[in-house]
Structure 1
Amino acid sequence: MRTGTNTGLRITAFTAALAATFGTAYGVGRVIDPVVAEAPPAAHDEHAEPSADPGRGGHAGHESEPAGGLQVSENGYTLDLATPRVTAGRRTELRFTVRDDDGRAVTAYRSEHEKELHLIVASRDLATYRHLHPTRSADGTWSTPVDLPRAGGYRVFADFTPAGKGAENLTLGADLAAGGSYRPANPPAPRDTSRTDGYRVDLTGSLTPGRAGELKLRVSRDGAPVTDLQPYLGAYGHLVALRSGDLAYLHVHPNGEPGDGAAKPGPEVSFTATAPSTGTYRLFLDFRHEGKVHTAAFTVRAGSAPAARETAPAATPEHTDGHTH
């Protein structure tokens, strides 16, 4: 993913290709949002319409920039997923390799946000989310344990930048199947408040197709603002957005970073984002407090008015384990 050295970076839709060399196997960040209830089928207009080019996201006239993660190969790199199938509820080692045009495993990456490669695993219904940091062996094979709670289709996203002058950040995607009894769900209804592990996170701002806008996320616990957030991956917050329907992958960077003289350790973390098209998106915010990483999730509609404030407490998201280091 792109570095966060400049403030005000736009939400960059990842374009393709993995990278990573994490010295530690970051754990699993699970989120079955403040609401992973089985929902009735969504109306057709709740999903972004596919374009003639499946690797580029939304329909003509509404796509502001390329969306990433929709292709397994791009710019001379290929995501080779050696574990395309797992069993739901069973801990499995997920293995993959990034290969170049000659089929050789890539072994040199540029470290970004403190890691060489960031791996995201999300279910097709966007109810389950994992942010993983695998380890790389000398031969270029990446591996990380994963335990997916529900059967169904998943998408694996490898976000990296190859080493070398002029190399660009890439996000490659591959399908993963989890065996078991499958019950599809739809993203929860839009809501601007998320509750996770005793924390409350409030979202203000909105996603606008083709135009940059600010998203602010305010963290509190027991009614008091959290003002001592800890850096996580070089920032006070890490935000990923996935488009419902095709799982186009977006990454949002915070406005500022620890030590820049402007960014504060809470309670608000600010991001600048541009949606590539109209449609429904799921936002996943990772933040660290008191030595532990937590994940808050939101459903938002790009191209529509912001969600109203919640009038009733949101359901507590299920966390069977958190990020480990």
Structure 2
Amino acid sequence: MNTAGKITSFTAALTVSFGAAYGLGNTVGPVGGTGPAPRADHTDRAEQEGAGDGGDHAESAAGGLQVSEDGYTLDLLTPRLKAAQEGELRFAVRDASGRPVPSYQREHGKELHLILASRDLATYRHLHPTRAADGTWSTPVSLPAAGDYRVFADFAPGAKNAPDLTLGADLAVAGTYKPAELPKPSRTATVDGYTVTLNGNLRPGVAEDLTFDVRKGGKPVTDLDPYLGAYGHLVALRAGDLAYLHVHPDGAPGDGRTEPGPAVTFTATAPSSATYRLFLDFEHDGTVRTAAFTVRAGAPATSPEPDGPASGHEDGAHGH
């Protein structure tokens, strides 16, 4: 969501920055810093809905570090779940008066995008909940392991001139907890027989291209399916505080210039020298899959070992 900018190329790059808001905004400090939490502004909505215009793109700060911002609050009505059991996650987005937000702007086909990630970054979910008549949201979810999770609501209220926001709240999952170690940095991820290779380095304060190459059985995948109006979606979370950024390729299926694979390119700027977990969602043969990478800003990912899929990730975890 922002979505987060919010969910928007193959062959063309959206400038994504963890460090500066579109235009001028708050800078995301180093992990553990004491400065104010950053805003999660995004590209101009008209640019996103009209992806492929070829225009310049501004930069976006990482977000999701605040439960309340600009008069809007994420109210997590289900603060606890049980591990390995399907439950219902309920929440509301409230305005300054405390009432549920009555309307939203649709971005990439959805009014709100929901991301769940464990604090150890081993588990990741990209969901699309349902909004009830009373303004509350809900979605079924099953999380494989106990521990602390972060819930990110990525949306744009329907009010005129309302900001694009990513709000975050903590979710506790009961059970025996054994935190996983963060996978070592690697340029290769494998998921369901697909191999995705990352080219490019993430560096603090410098815009760099990150290109993902998707292959199956060693052959380039050139017929990726459109998923929420794009051929790929990228979520990046900073280890330590889970600063969040969700971006999409510049371009759209059917725009006459965006190829359906095998490569997708993003231009990213890290806010600090730190370790990040990247989650690339792509759809092929009707199934959404996630390739996960660990990268270090300031140093290339040199591990030759392939990185497996996000732990606990299931194709069904994507809400459609």
TM-score (norm 2): 0.83
Aligned residue number for residue 31 of structure 2: 49
Deviation at 1:317, TM superposition (A): 5.7
Deviation at 1:209, TM superposition (A): 1.4
CA distance in 1, matches of 2:319, 2:127: 9
Could you tell me whether the CA contact under 8 Å between 2:185 and 2:303 is conserved in 1?
A: no
Could you tell me whether the CA contact under 8 Å between 2:90 and 2:138 is conserved in 1?
A: yes
Residues 1:255 and 2:260 aligned together: no
Could you tell me whether the CA contact under 8 Å between 2:123 and 2:313 is conserved in 1?
A: no
RMSD over aligned CA atoms reads: 2.4
Structure 1 residue identity aligned to 2:143: L
Per the alignment, do residues 316 and 137 of structure 1 end up closer, same or farther by CA in structure 2, a change over 3 Å counting? closer
Per the alignment, do residues 313 and 76 of structure 1 end up closer, same or farther by CA in structure 2, a change over 3 Å counting? closer
- The count of corresponding residues between Structure 1 and Structure 2 is 286
Structure 2 residue identity aligned to 1:201: V
Deviation at 1:13, TM superposition (A): 5.1
Could you tell me whether the CA contact under 8 Å between 2:86 and 2:140 is conserved in 1?
A: yes
Aligned residue number for residue 75 of structure 2: 80
Per the alignment, do residues 245 and 309 of structure 1 end up closer, same or farther by CA in structure 2, a change over 3 Å counting? closer
Instruction: Note the alpha carbon deviations across 1:95-136, whole angstroms, 9 max, x for none.
Output: 000000100100200011111100000000000000000000
CA distance in 2, matches of 1:66, 1:146: 28
Aligned residue number for residue 321 of structure 1: 314
Structure 2 residue identity aligned to 1:286: D
Unaligned runs of 5+ in 2: 21-28, 40-58
Structure 2 residue identity aligned to 1:108: S
CA distance in 1, matches of 2:200, 2:246: 17
1:161-240 equivalences under 5 Å are 161-240=156-235
Task: Give 1:11's match in structure 2, choosing from 9, 16, 26.
Answer: 16
CA distance in 2, matches of 1:156, 1:121: 5
TM-score (norm 1): 0.82
Unaligned runs of 5+ in 1: 16-46, 58-63
Per the alignment, do residues 251 and 14 of structure 1 end up closer, same or farther by CA in structure 2, a change over 3 Å counting? farther
CA distance in 2, matches of 1:114, 1:14: 27
Instruction: Note the alpha carbon deviations across 1:64-88, whole angstroms, 9 max, x for none.
Output: 9743101000000000000000000
Instruction: Note the alpha carbon deviations across 1:252-300, whole angstroms, 9 max, x for none.
Output: 2213222222211011111122212220000000000000000000000
Structure 2 residue identity aligned to 1:307: A
Identity %: 61
CA distance in 2, matches of 1:234, 1:111: 12
